Amino acid sequence: MKLELIKTLLENQLTKTTDETEQTELTNTLSEINEILDYTDRVCLITPDSVIGLLNLVTYNDYGRFRKSNGSISFEQYSELVRSTYLLDNLTDRNLNCGYCFLNDLWSDNEHFGHNNPDGTIK
């Protein structure tokens, strides 16, 4: 990772410099880099397309059951379902809306062509 290389270079520079101002600047920069590296170890970044695929795989059957039993499912209902049932409360409304729109179209097509079970789940 490029950031690790920069960190190593700054650490090497810190051991060589005797200028107090430069030492302070290098120490502060290294502290910021360490915060970034710590954050990236705790966060998983995925693309919007992957979010849509994940939501499709994970929520399709629940979406279908809800829609079949209620006639429709609003974005707000879908959002609550995903955030409460799957603990995906860190997804943005924009990401959820992309998944919702994709599922809405896919489920409708599958329903039209007979690819859903009577309860709304996928065959």
Share of the chain above pLDDT 70, in %: 95
* Average pLDDT, integer, range 18-43: 85
C-beta separation of 45 from 39 below 8 A:
no
pTM over 0.85: no
Q: Within a 10 A sphere around the Cβ of 35, how many other Cβ atoms? A: 10
Q: Over the stretch 41-98, which tens digit does the pLDDT of each residue have?
A: 666 777 888 888 999 999 999 999 999 999 999 999 999 989 889 888 778 899 899 9
Mean predicted confidence (pLDDT) in 97-105: 94
